[in-house]
Amino acid sequence: MMVLTIRKERRELCNLVRYSAWHQVAFGNKVVSGTSRKLKGMSTFPPPEDPSYNHRFAYVNGVRLHYIDVGPRDALPIVLVHGFPDLWWGWRFQIQALRQSYRVIVADNRGYGSSDVPTAIEAYSRKNVCKDYAELLDLLGINRAVFIGHDWGGDVVWKMCSFYPDQVLAVATVCTPYTPRSPQLYSLELIVSKLPNFRYQLLFANESAAGHLDEHAHSFFNALFGNLPNGFEHADVATIVENVTKFKFDRPLPSIMTQADFDYYLAKYRGTTFRGPLNWYRTRDIDWTDLAGKSVVIPHEALFIAADQDVALPPAMSKGMEKFVPNLTRKLVKGADHWVLFEKPDLVNATLLEWLAPIAAKAQQFLRSAL
């Protein structure tokens, strides 16, 4: 890994220059609310293998991480973090909307896609995943970035605020509410008894789950991304996993995916298997221990985007977040479920761009006061 020798004061100055340049880029062009609607068809932006995404690999924290790095080099950095069962490509619509004015960095998390797949369960602790991103920023010479996550990626960006608070300029999550560390470690069984929507996590924690999903990956992705067969129209994640061998689909694909999208997901998961991604569900004890002594308050500017039809992470789970996230902005996307990133990309993109505007203004104000 490249060792950075730049002094902190110099790095701060460099970042102030980046913020200034980004401010000019972002506000030099008007954001048109309808722009993101042009992104609904795959044909309007390059496929995932296209070199315009600037695919790169970095050796960080003991793993080789695949990531893309697009947008102006001197722009404010935005780090997008995906969840399960996803890939960097899950942010495809947001990448197109943000890359015009921001430096956008999106990785395949460890265990996913083209990144390394460690075998040890402890390798998937949130502290380890956060260290991946902290070291990636150091490698790229970036002092601070805005972190935005979905699903498990939301959990990662919240925990970045705990483990590496100085590297987080602001934080946003899609679907994932902030959950502070509990005073004592509760069993997953107890949690599921209170939150039945988490029953799927018991299935994913089982050692046999990876082989089951590997064998039925096509049906699993088809159903999970919304192409539910007759009789299972309202199935939750656990029901999908339990019945995936029985599904007979009326349509070949989920409506929110193209054939190219679907094939890309299948190819990547068949290449690495579900073993790594499911290890993320087996680190609860480790994560609870790692957070001991950390503040439960997130002081950063924060955005939470909920989807009103999300059965995996219902918006009601976010009740009372303001107690722990005092600088929180809330937005609700109606008529969308857990896959709101590509089900309602226009609304998600508009919300993100609107939220980022005052962050730019504050950065510009800070620059002026420092001169």
User: Is 281 a catalytic site residue?
Assistant: yes
Reported residue count of the chain is 371
**CA-CA distance, 60 to 131, in Å (whole number)?**
8
Query: Is 338 an active-site residue?
Result: yes
CA 41 to chain centroid, in Å, comes to 22
280-302 per-residue burial string, b: 16 or more CB within 10 A, e: under 16: bbbbbebbeebbeeeeeebebbb
> What stretches of the chain show up as alpha helix (H) in DSSP?
8-28, 92-98, 126-140, 152-163, 188-194, 199-204, 209-215, 217-224, 237-243, 259-272, 275-279, 284-290, 340-343, 345-370
Among the options 155, 261, 281, 300, which is catalytic? 281
- State the amino acid at position 232 in one-letter form: F
Task: Find out whether 229 and 239 touch, Cβ atoms under 8 Å.
Answer: no
Identity of the amino acid at 304: F
Q: Strand pairing partners for 168? A: 145
Q: Which of 151, 155, 287, 337 is catalytic?
A: 151
Q: Is residue 290 flagged as an active site residue?
A: no
Cα separation, 125 vs 32, in Å, equals: 40
Active site residues: 151, 281, 338
